[in-house]
């Protein structure tokens, strides 16, 4: 009864500290009987047709569940078809089989309160059938037929894509998932199979043949693990399974050599703006490790000390004592097949961003700065030991853990070994692994929050963690419109040629162009007038002198960097603003005319309207309207992610008052509309070509 | 009791599992003070799940004290007069001073012309006392004790209708649960009250302020209800959360946490006679107390359709709600069948039409009893449109499908399918200690008997197409509906 001893000790210590101790404490002096004897249910295993089967019989309820695991998942998908595995999982079920296509399958199952579901995750795929025992004999062959002979109808693939596109358009709604997603990218790298996400473009590339091939590769007997749990007939089950799964080919298993991660420890502060928040989502950490690490048990105990239930330090300190978060957590992740992540995170009021971040970091540092007390370690171990029995309170869970461990190649007694190792973990071990595996000075720290509410705190954090990098969470736009109009590229090019002819008198070389004029901007405080003098050196330099009634500023962009100078002070422009300004430069009619031969242009509309509509693809991604009679641009429309509001804005710029000079025509009146609302108007007075 | 026999064998299978079989495993008794205990024996593993269910939800809150049910729920994890403290005698004196100090600050702060200097002085005094009170605190001691003993799933929730506390323990530690549970509900202490309210404000930010769907739901109920206290979210309005004090919370506890308002439910490998002994020993001395006040307000009839739009930077969502009936009304089970026909499963009417065929919606769903069902709530319908689909298109389809039912266009097979799935779902719910303990406690405390879980299935068998038709005709009227949506800001008149 080691536990009881330490527990009494802790009470005594508390009691000694005070003179006026309360009388009876309700949980003291209780005598528990010995834990009830319990034998872990036996799982039978056999192989047939390359498939490994697992059986766990129990007759509490007249139900049977069949679980299938197949190796292979999203990690196998090519970079230009991210989403293939998940779409395959969806359409495998929604399309039905030859015997029971689509709606027929749904009715068959729902009339019997049965379910069949399929899916693919990052590493593996799965399929489940849940039925009442009376339907098992009839539905088992339907299930295997679905898994072996899916229809994959094109219209269900299209539906799955429509739904996935909607999901993409909604992926920035929930800040917590934005933070987790972007943090994964920071750790594993933007293009890693462990962090990449489905984009409109990769989705578009997925074809029915891809689904068929991916399904064939994974649903091979030797690549499958099948578990059955519930009230089946133990005398008949093997024969039933052999018969039903006989239709699969033994085939070859998917080689589970997942790519490694080339991680370099390096600190960094990152920020993503989402303007509808009054809270910040914070994540911090670095790469984690593997399950076969000899320090695995010590790291798990450390995780419990840091963040195990209400008793963990993060909950105790950041939530209960300081009231800085409702949700705060952290864990050193150890995976079997690829490295896990060490992360800690919380959500906290915008005004507490810096404090919450530092309080969480402090708890991680404390693991390294001072050894845990023997008491805290012992209590943590008790927590782990006393709840072991809960591994066995669900037959379904017993079976799925067993199957998963078997597939991962963990020894059958892996859990028992882990528990033995936990017994051996010492105070020194915790101190040692905390210092060996955690590197808080090399954390990547990500904040997703409302810039206007956290700006000052960000500056404060920059003092401690170096200047922050802005993370672009904008959703790359779909390319579907481009694909739909590919046939008209020839005509598009012809009209651009005509446009270039009227803008440029000669095909001269132009290094730069200089403008002078006034600009009226709509601000929340009303209209503001500016005098502007700008020199644009194509394609990537821009100098603007702006004078307002309040004073003058100079903006300079060169070599991808931008600065704003004002009254002897200099301030760097955010990366996002620099790229936005340079992008606008490339959308000017003069620039388009000069570079029209290199543009990907498609004619959309040359019919009845006043204008000819051309779509320009590639990085410009804009729609251009050209006057039918003069061939001069009338307006352009494009979408841009606005960092300040954290959302896409539709921008339209109209061109009027075309004026000739120095051999080129320039629109002297330009109006800019954001989401249909006029944002500014520019009136030029002169232009010069250099 | 009558069963309509289905042609398949399902009804038979499930019938065998219903009341008679379950009855063997359930023991139910009530202590002299009015506290009810349900024991469900299930010996799948030597563990048990424990639930304390209290018939108090945000619906019982007074104006100006919204969120108090939830605040108290948090406080029940802060220990008691003997747990979580180094010296209760001294601590209670400081807590009293602390509450007085907060009230002084609050009154000044909410006065018509607060004196800044005085405010700061009062706040400084409050902070001083909060720190002083903190010196007596043994942080999270209650949670630490139970987690150390092997507790899993330690948590609680508050809804519009109810409060429930739960966790599971190895079965040989059943007495520990009784000792600690009786203690925290007999000797509660509003420890770390003002810090915990900060945690609750964070919870509010997590669940409501920063989630488009959360913002919409809060706006929706406060629009749909005029008078009935379903009109506020259980988390409470921020200014009320700020304003509630320790004495408010204690008064709330004394009024609502009386034995007749509490049901304990235990599922797992336990012996009913042990449970009875522990219940007598630990809860028997809890004073019976007065019957808690009832909700007197009745929602007046709605005079016309209500509509609102939240224009913001997020993607569109649609909610439609009709004033409906509470769970004890005979039409409640008809409403459940109706929601099954319309929304449950891939074969349901609206899933098939909006998700599969017309491909307008990413998600469509609906159910009766929002935000609660102890009293008449709403039949709520929610939809998430696919990219580029207008909410009006979806709304139109929903009304068309309701009209089809109004016109009697429902097949008996559709009703049978819903009934079959309802039976199976009750059956599947019997596979978890935690789930069973909670479901049985809820049914017992709110419906008067845990048996209602099963008798509802029998009542469902009696429902006819005519009933569906009648219910749609009676409750699904334009004048009693509220339509709320989030729409993405995209045009010039957004701020006018």
B172-183 pLDDT, tens digit per residue, is 999 999 999 999
CB A35 to CB B46 under 8 A? yes
Q: Is the predicted pLDDT of residue B2 greater than 70, yes or no?
A: no
Same domain, B258 and B354: no
- Chain A residues with CB inside 8 Å of B432's CB? 394
Nearest to A659 by CA among A505, A498, A512: A505
- CB contacts < 8 A (A, B): 253
- Chain A residues with CB inside 8 Å of B154's CB? 309-310
Asked, for residue B111, whether it belongs to a domain, the answer is no
Q: Is the predicted pLDDT of residue A369 greater than 70, yes or no?
A: yes
* CA atoms of A574 and A636, how far apart (whole Å): 25
- Chain B residues with CB inside 8 Å of A277's CB? 209-210
Asked, for residue B243, whether it belongs to a domain, the answer is yes
Give the domain A261-470 fold.
Cytochrome Bc1 Complex; Chain A, domain 1 (3.30.830)
Nearest CA in chain A to B181: A26
Higher pLDDT, B414 or A652: B414
Nearest to A261 by CA among A194, A196, A197, A335: A194
Q: Cβ–Cβ contacts within 10 Å for residue A87, how many?
A: 24
Nearest to B161 by CA among B226, B246, B70, B241: B70
Q: How confident is the model at residue A638 (pLDDT cuts 50, 70, 90)?
A: confident
- Chain B residues with CB inside 8 Å of A204's CB? none
CB B221 within 8 A of CB B380: no
H-helix or E-strand spanning residue A481: helix A480-484
Q: How confident is the model at residue A10 (pLDDT cuts 50, 70, 90)?
A: very low
A197-244 pLDDT, tens digit per residue, is 999 999 999 999 999 999 999 999 999 999 999 999 999 999 999 999
Residue A35 C-alpha, separation from nearest chain B C-alpha, in angstroms: 6
B332-360 pLDDT, tens digit per residue, is 999 999 999 999 999 999 999 999 999 99
What 3 state SS string does A579-605 have?
Answer: HHHHHHHCCCHHHHHHCHHHCCEEEEE
Q: Cβ–Cβ contacts within 10 Å for residue A217, how many?
A: 17
* CA atoms of A285 and A439, how far apart (whole Å): 8
CB B17 to CB A169 under 8 A? no
* Per-window interface: A 60-119 vs B, CB < 8 A: 60-63, 103, 106-107, 110-113
- Residue B152: which of A134, A324, A390 has the nearest Cβ? A390
3-state SS class at A568: coil
Check if A390 contacts B (Cβ < 8 Å). Answer: yes
- Interface probe for A, chosen from B91, B146, B148, B182 (most Cβ of A below 10 Å), is B148
Q: Is the predicted pLDDT of residue B20 greater than 90, yes or no?
A: no
- Chain A residues with CB inside 8 Å of B312's CB? 276
Nearest to B223 by CA among B234, B214, B232: B232
Q: What is the CA radius of gyration of chain A?
A: 32
Q: What is the DSSP string of A69-96?
A: EEE--GGGS-GGGTTHHHHHHHHHHHTB
* Per-window interface: A 250-289 vs B, CB < 8 A: 275-279
* Per-window interface: A 616-675 vs B, CB < 8 A: 645-647, 650, 675
Share of chain A above pLDDT 90, in %: 66
Higher pLDDT, B2 or A472: A472
- Chain A residues with CB inside 8 Å of B428's CB? 61, 63, 130
Same domain, B481 and B376: yes
Nearest to A363 by CA among A258, A438, A425: A438
Check if A609 contacts B (Cβ < 8 Å). Answer: no
Q: Which domain holds residue B312?
A: 306-490
Give the domain A44-245 fold.
Cytochrome Bc1 Complex; Chain A, domain 1 (3.30.830)
- Interface probe for B, chosen from A16, A17, A25, A392 (most Cβ of B below 10 Å), is A25
Same domain, B240 and B186: yes
Q: Is the dihedral angle over the CA atoms B422, B426, B427, B429 positive or is it negative? A: positive
Q: What is the DSSP string of A172-198?
A: TS-HHHHHHHHHHHHHH-TT-TTT---
Average pLDDT, chain A: 90
Asked, for residue B110, whether it belongs to a domain, the answer is no
Q: Is the predicted pLDDT of residue B423 greater than 90, yes or no?
A: yes
For chain B, count helices (H), then strands (E).
19, 11
Asked, for residue B172, whether it belongs to a domain, the answer is yes
- Chain B residues with CB inside 8 Å of A7's CB? 148
The sheet that has A468-470: what strands, in order across it? Answer: A328-332, A341-349, A279-287, A444-449, A268-273, A468-470
Q: Do domains A261-470 and A485-689 have the same CATH topology?
A: no
Q: Write the ipTM.
A: 0.92
Check if A320 contacts B (Cβ < 8 Å). Answer: yes
Please give the average per-residue pLDDT across B226-247, as a whole number. Answer: 98
Nearest CA in chain B to A352: B202
Give the domain A485-689 fold.
outer membrane lipoprotein receptor (LolB), chain A (2.50.20)
Q: Is the predicted pLDDT of residue B31 greater than 70, yes or no?
A: yes
Please give the average per-residue pLDDT across B278-299, as a whole number. Answer: 96
Q: Cβ–Cβ contacts within 10 Å for residue A180, how many?
A: 16
Task: Report H helices in A111-233.
Answer: 133-148, 154-169, 175-188, 200-204, 208-218
- Chain B residues with CB inside 8 Å of A107's CB? 347
Same domain, B228 and B348: no
- Residue A111: which of B13, B149, B420 has the nearest Cβ? B420
Same domain, B355 and B483: yes
**CB-based contacts of A570: which residues, under 8 Å, 6+ apart?**
A563, A564
Residue A315 C-alpha, separation from nearest chain B C-alpha, in angstroms: 9
Q: How confident is the model at residue A524 (pLDDT cuts 50, 70, 90)?
A: low
Residue A356 C-alpha, separation from nearest chain B C-alpha, in angstroms: 12
Number of domains chain B is built from: 2
- Chain B residues with CB inside 8 Å of A106's CB? 345-347
Exposure of B312 by Cβ count < 10 A (0-12 exposed, 13-18 middle, 19+ buried)? middle
CB A665 within 8 A of CB A497: no
CB A673 within 8 A of CB A679: yes
Exposure of A612 by Cβ count < 10 A (0-12 exposed, 13-18 middle, 19+ buried)? buried
Q: Cβ–Cβ contacts within 10 Å for residue A413, how many?
A: 10
Average pLDDT, chain B: 94
CB A162 to CB B171 under 8 A? no
Please give the average per-residue pLDDT across B79-106, as a whole number. Answer: 97
Ramachandran quadrant class, B380 (left: phi over 0; alpha: psi -120 to 50; beta: rest): beta
CB B82 to CB A26 under 8 A? yes
CB A162 to CB B139 under 8 A? no
- Chain A residues with CB inside 8 Å of B359's CB? 159, 162
Nearest to A120 by CA among A155, A151, A160, A158: A160
Check if A38 contacts B (Cβ < 8 Å). Answer: yes
The answer to whether the predicted template modeling score (pTM) of the entire model surpasses 0.90 is no
pLDDT value for B395:
98
- Chain A residues with CB inside 8 Å of B427's CB? 61-63, 132
CB B148 to CB A17 under 8 A? no
- Residue B148: which of A22, A175, A383 has the nearest Cβ? A383
Nearest to A586 by CA among A623, A552, A540, A634: A540
Q: What is the DSSP string of A313-362?
A: HHIIIIIIIT---S-EEEEE-EESSS--EEEEEEEEEGGGHHHHHHHHHH
Nearest to B154 by CA among B168, B142, B136: B168
The sheet that has A115-120: what strands, in order across it? Answer: A44-48, A51-57, A224-230, A63-71, A124-132, A115-120
Within its chain, how far is the Cα of A592 from the centroid?
36
A539: preceding bond cis by omega (within 30 degrees): yes
pLDDT value for A662:
87
Nearest CA in chain A to B16: A62
Domain boundaries defined on chain A: 44-245, 261-470, 485-689
The residues facing A294 across adjacent strands are none
Q: Cβ–Cβ contacts within 10 Å for residue A485, how many?
A: 17
CB A99 within 8 A of CB A142: yes
> How large is the angle between the packed helices B465-475 and B412-428, nearest 10 degrees?
90
Structure tokens at B147: 């987690």
CATH of the domain at B158: 3.30.830.10
Please give the average per-residue pLDDT across A87-107, as a whole number. Answer: 96
- Residue B154: which of A32, A279, A309 has the nearest Cβ? A309
Residue A277 C-alpha, separation from nearest chain B C-alpha, in angstroms: 5
Asked, for residue B326, whether it belongs to a domain, the answer is yes
The residues facing B384 across adjacent strands are B363
Q: Is the predicted pLDDT of residue A430 greater than 60, yes or no?
A: yes
Same domain, B364 and B447: yes
- Interface probe for B, chosen from A110, A305, A454 (most Cβ of B below 10 Å), is A110
Same domain, B266 and B403: no
Nearest CA in chain A to B313: A647
CB A62 to CB B203 under 8 A? no
CA angle A112, A117, A123 (to 5 degrees): 160
Same domain, B159 and B33: yes
End-to-end CA distance of chain B: 61
Residue B116 C-alpha, separation from nearest chain A C-alpha, in angstroms: 21
Q: What is the DSSP string of B3-21?
A: -PPPSSSHHHHHHHHSHHH
pLDDT value for B12:
44
- Interface probe for A, chosen from B150, B186, B353 (most Cβ of A below 10 Å), is B150
pLDDT value for A3:
32
Same domain, B253 and B393: no
């Amino acid at each position: 009864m080691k536990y009881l001893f330490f527990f009494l000790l802790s009470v005594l210590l508390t009691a000694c500290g005070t003179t006026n101790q309360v009388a009876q404490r309700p949980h003291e002096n209780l005598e528990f009987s010995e834990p009830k004897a319990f034998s872990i249910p036996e799982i039978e295993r056999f192989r047939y047709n390359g498939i490994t089967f697992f059986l766990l019989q129990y007759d509490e309820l007249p139900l049977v569940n069949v679980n299938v695991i197949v190796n292979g998942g999203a990690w196998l998908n090519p970079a230009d078809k991210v989403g293939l595995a998940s779409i395959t999982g969806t359409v495998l079920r929604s399309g039905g089989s030859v015997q029971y296509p689509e709606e027929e399958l749904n009715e068959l199952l729902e009339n019997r309160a049965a379910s069949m579901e399929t899916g693919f995750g990052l590493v593996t795929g799965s399929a489940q059938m849940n039925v009442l025992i009376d339907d098992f004999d009839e539905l088992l062959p339907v299930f295997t037929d679905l898994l072996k002979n899916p229809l994959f109808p094109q219209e269900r693939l299209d539906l799955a894509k429509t739904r996935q596109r909607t999901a993409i358009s909604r992926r920035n709604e929930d800040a917590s998932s934005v933070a987790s997603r972007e943090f994964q990218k920071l750790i594993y790298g933007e293009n890693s199979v462990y962090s990449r996400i489905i984009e409109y473009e990769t989705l578009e590339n997925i074809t029915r043949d891809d689904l068929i091939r991916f399904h064939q590769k994974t649903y091979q007997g030797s690549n499958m693990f099948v578990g059955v749990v519930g009230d089946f007939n133990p005398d008949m089950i093997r024969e039933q399974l052999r018969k039903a799964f006989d239709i699969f080919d033994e085939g070859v298993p998917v080689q589970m050599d997942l790519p490694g991660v080339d991680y370099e420890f390096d600190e960094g502060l990152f920020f993503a703006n989402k303007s509808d928040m009054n809270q910040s989502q914070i994540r911090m950490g670095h790469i984690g490790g593997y399950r076969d690490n000899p320090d695995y048990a010590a790291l798990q105990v450390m995780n419990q000390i840091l963040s195990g239930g209400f008793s963990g330090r993060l909950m105790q300190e950041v939530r209960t004592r300081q009231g800085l978060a409702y949700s705060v957590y952290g864990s050193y992740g150890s995976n079997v097949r690829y490295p896990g992540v060490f992360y800690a995170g919380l959500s906290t009021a915008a005004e507490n961003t810096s404090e919450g971040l530092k309080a969480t970091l402090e708890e991680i540092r404390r693991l390294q700065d001072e050894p845990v007390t023997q008491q805290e370690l012992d209590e943590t171990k008790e927590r782990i030991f006393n709840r072991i029995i809960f591994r066995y309170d669900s037959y379904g869970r017993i079976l799925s853990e067993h199957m998963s461990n078997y597939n991962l190649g963990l020894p059958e007694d892996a859990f028992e070994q882990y528990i033995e190792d936990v017994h051996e973990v010492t105070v020194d071990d915790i101190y040692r692994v905390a210092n060996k595996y955690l590197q808080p000075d090399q954390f990547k720290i990500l904040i997703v929050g409302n810039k206007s509410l956290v700006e000052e705190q960000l500056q404060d954090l920059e003092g401690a963690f170096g200047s922050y990098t802005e993370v672009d969470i904008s959703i790359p736009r779909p390319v579907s419109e481009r694909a739909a109009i590919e046939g008209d590229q020839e005509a598009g090019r012809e009209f651009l040629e005509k446009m270039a002819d009227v803008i440029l008198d000669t095909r001269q070389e132009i290094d730069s162009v200089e403008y002078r004029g006034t600009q009226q901007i709509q601000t929340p405080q009303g209209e503001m007038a500016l005098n502007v003098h700008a020199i644009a050196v194509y394609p990537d330099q821009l100098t603007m002198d702006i004078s307002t009634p309040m004073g003058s500023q100079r903006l300079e962009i060169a070599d991808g960097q931008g600065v704003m100078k004002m009254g002897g002070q200099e301030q760097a422009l955010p990366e996002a603003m620099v790229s936005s300004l340079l992008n606008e430069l490339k959308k000017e009619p003069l620039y388009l005319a000069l570079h029209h031969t290199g543009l990907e242009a498609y004619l959309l509309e040359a019919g009845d309207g006043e204008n000819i509509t051309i779509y320009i693809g590639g990085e410009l991604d804009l729609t251009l309207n050209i006057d039918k009679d003069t061939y001069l641009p009338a307006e352009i429309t494009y979408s841009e992610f606005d960092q300040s509001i954290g959302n896409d804005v539709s921008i339209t710029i109209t061109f009027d008052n075309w004026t000739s000079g120095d051999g080129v025509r320039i629109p002297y009146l330009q109006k800019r509309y954001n989401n249909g609302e006029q944002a500014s108007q520019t009136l030029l007075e002169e232009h010069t070509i250099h | 009791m009558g069963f309509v026999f289905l042609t398949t064998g399902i009804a038979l299978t499930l019938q065998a599992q219903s009341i008679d079989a379950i009855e063997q495993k359930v023991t139910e008794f009530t202590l002299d003070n009015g506290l009810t205990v349900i024991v469900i024996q299930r010996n799948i593993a030597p563990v048990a799940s424990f639930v304390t269910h209290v018939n108090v939800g945000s619906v019982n809150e007074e104006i100006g004290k919204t969120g108090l049910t939830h605040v108290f729920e948090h406080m029940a994890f802060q220990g008691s007069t003997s747990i979580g403290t180094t010296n209760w005698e001294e601590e209670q004196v400081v807590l009293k001073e602390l509450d007085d100090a907060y009230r002084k600050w609050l009154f000044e702060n909410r006065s018509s012309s607060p004196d800044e200097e005085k405010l700061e002085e009062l706040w400084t005094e409050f902070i001083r006392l909060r720190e002083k009170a903190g010196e007596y605190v043994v942080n999270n001691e209650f949670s630490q004790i139970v987690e150390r003993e092997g507790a899993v799933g330690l948590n609680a929730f508050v809804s519009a209708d109810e409060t429930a506390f739960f966790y599971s323990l190895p079965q040989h530690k059943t007495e520990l649960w009784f000792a600690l549970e009786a203690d925290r509900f007999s000797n509660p202490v509003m420890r770390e009250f003002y810090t915990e309210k900060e945690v609750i404000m964070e919870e509010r930010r997590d669940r409501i302020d920063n989630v488009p769907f959360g913002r919409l739901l809060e706006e929706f109920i406060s629009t749909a209800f005029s008078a009935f206290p379903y009109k506020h979210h259980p988390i409470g309005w921020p200014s009320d959360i700020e304003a509630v004090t320790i004495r408010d919370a204690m008064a709330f506890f004394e009024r609502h946490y009386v034995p007749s308002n509490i049901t304990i439910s235990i599922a797992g490998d336990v012996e009913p006679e042990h449970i009875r002994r522990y219940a007598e020993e630990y809860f028997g001395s809890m004073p019976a107390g007065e019957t808690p006040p009832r909700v007197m307000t009745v929602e007046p009839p709605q005079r016309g359709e209500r509509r609102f739009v939240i224009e913001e930077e997020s993607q569109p969502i649609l909610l439609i709600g009709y004033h409906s009936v509470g769970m004890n009304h005979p039409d409640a089970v008809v409403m459940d069948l109706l929601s099954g026909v319309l929304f449950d499963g891939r074969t349901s009417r609206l899933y098939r039409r909006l998700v599969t065929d017309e491909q307008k919606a990413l998600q469509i769903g609906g159910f009766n009893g929002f935000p609660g069902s102890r009293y008449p709530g709403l039949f709520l319908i929610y939809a998430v449109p696919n990219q580029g689909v207008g909410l009006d298109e979806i709304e139109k389809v929903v009304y068309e499908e309701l009209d089809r039912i109004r016109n009697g266009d429902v097949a008996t097979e559709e009703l049978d399918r819903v009934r079959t799935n309802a039976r199976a779902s009750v059956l599947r719910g019997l596979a978890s200690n935690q789930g069973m303990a909670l479901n049985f406690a809820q049914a017992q405390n709110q419906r008067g008997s845990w048996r209602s879980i099963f008798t509802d299935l029998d009542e469902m068998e009696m429902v006819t197409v005519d009933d569906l038709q009648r219910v749609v005709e009676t409750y699904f009227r334009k004048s009693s509906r509220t339509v709320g949506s989030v729409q993405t800001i995209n045009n010039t008149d957004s701020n006018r």
